[in-house]
Amino acid sequence: MTENKKNNNNFSFTKENLLLAERELKKYPKGREGSAIISILWIAQRQNKGWLSSDIIDYIAKFLDLPQIRVMEIATFYTMFNLNPVGAHHFQICGTTPCMLSGSEKLKSLLYEEIGEQSSVSKDNLSWVEVECLGACCNAPVIQINDDYYEDLAVTDLKNIIDDLRNKKEIKPGSYKDRLSSAPDNKNIQILTEDEIEEIAKNRTKPGLEAKNA
Ligand code: FES
Structural domain boundaries enclosing 116: 89-175
Which residues line ligand 1 at a C-beta cut-off of 6 Å? 94, 96, 98-99, 133-137, 140, 142
91: left (phi over 0), alpha (psi -120 to 50) or beta: beta
Q: Does residue 72 sit in the same domain as residue 96?
A: no
How much is the pTM? Answer: 0.82
Q: Does residue 171 sit in the same domain as residue 111?
A: yes
Total domain count for the chain?
Answer: 2
Atom of ligand 1 at shortest distance to CA of 133? 4
Of 160, 96, 164, 82, nearest to 127 by C-alpha is 82
Ligand 1 center from residue 185 Cα (angstroms) = 17
Q: Does any domain span residue 97?
A: yes
CATH of the domain at 166: 3.40.30.10
Average pLDDT, the chain: 91
Q: Does any domain span residue 50?
A: yes
Ligand 1 center from residue 98 Cα (angstroms) = 6
Place 4 in a pLDDT band, splitting at 50, 70 and 90.
low
Asked if omega into 141 is within 30° of 0 (cis), the reply is: yes
Is beta strand 143-145 parallel, antiparallel or unpaired with respect to 126-131?
A: unpaired
The residue out of 25, 52, 77 marking a domain boundary is 77
Q: Does residue 105 sit in the same domain as residue 71?
A: no
Q: Which tens digit of pLDDT belongs to each residue from 43-98? A: 999 999 999 999 999 999 999 999 999 999 999 999 999 999 999 999 999 999 99
